[in-house]
Chain A
Amino acid sequence: MRGKGSSSSKISTLIVDDDPIIRRIHKVLLTKVGLETQVVENGKKAVDLYHSGASFDLILMDLEMAIMDGPKATKELRAMGVQSMIVGVTARDLEVEKQMFMASGLNDCYVKPLTTDTVTALVKKLKKDN
């Protein structure tokens, strides 16, 4: 079981996305900035991980996914008491859609794929909050 505590000092991240290209890009990007990463293809798998006792410092949550989408997974995680930073990533760039996603319990939301600058800023924020 991976997640917090699996490595002494690295920030642990969970990438939740049904797009294999985004999963690959984000995995390499996050690893490059020194983060520990795990990858799942939908929101249900993310929720199941937390149910099994895993925990992550940062979750990158896609909006649209089959089986369980980002808003539903985020609501479920928050209802479980999960306080991890959850950042939405979406190809949708309409403000109203982003606001709806934010309302599910995200800390922030970005257009995907993320850039190195965005991830660096997220890591800074995480370190500051901890």
Chain B
Amino acid sequence: MERTQQHRQVAHMRQSLFDQGLLDEQFVQLEELQDDANPNFVEEVVTLFYRDSARLVLNIDQALDKSPLDFSKLDSYMHQFKGSASSIGAKKVKSECTLFREYCKAGNGEGCMKTFQQLKKDYAVLRKKLETYFQVIFHSLLFDKDGEN
């Protein structure tokens, strides 16, 4: 695949993440921080997010298994999760965090559970799409290097 086509593929994939409502402006802020001193900064931060948030997902799952539900604890976990999701610009995940917290405030356990199930799906989908996106970027950089040689 020629170089221009590679770059177009990267650009198209990137744009679709925004068009699908998965990412917001914060992701662009991360991209702007990436430079020669931190060449893999965006991927690094995303990896850090998924590693760090795995613990929170487990905590929330366990807390949702308890009866009665401790909405204050659930809200606290989700506050942390939302903060982390905001940091990488995970727009859809962040909005589900907000919805979950509203259900917590209303003491609506069923709402919390349904929202969390959806959140986990979207969290996994975003992870997969970002992994694929970073792989395509990596291959396009390799292709660029080959082209220079």
Q: List residues of chain A with CB under 8 Å of any chain B CB.
A: 19-22, 24-25, 28-29, 31-32, 91-92, 112-113, 115-116
Contacts and interface: CB of A to CB of B under 8 A. Distances in A.
B110 interface: no
Given A20-B48, A24-B44, A91-B79, A32 B33 contact: yes
Contacts, number: 47
Given A25-B87, A32-B37, A113-B87, 10 more contacts: A19-B52, A20-B48, A21-B84, A21-B87, A24-B45, A24-B48, A25-B30, A28-B38, A112-B83, A112-B87
Chain B's interface size range is 20 to 34
Interface of B: 26, 29-30, 32-33, 35, 37-38, 41, 44-45, 48-49, 52, 79-80, 82-84, 86-88
Contacts of B87: 19, 21-22, 25, 112-113
Give the interface SS of chain A, mostly helix, strand, loop or mixed.
Answer: helix
Contacts of B29: 113, 115-116
In the complex, the 5 A-B pairs of residues with the closest C-beta atoms, listed nearest first: A91-B83, A21-B87, A28-B33, A21-B48, A113-B87
Nearest to A113: B87
B48 A91 contact: no
A126 B130 CA distance: 38
A47 B40 CA distance: 33
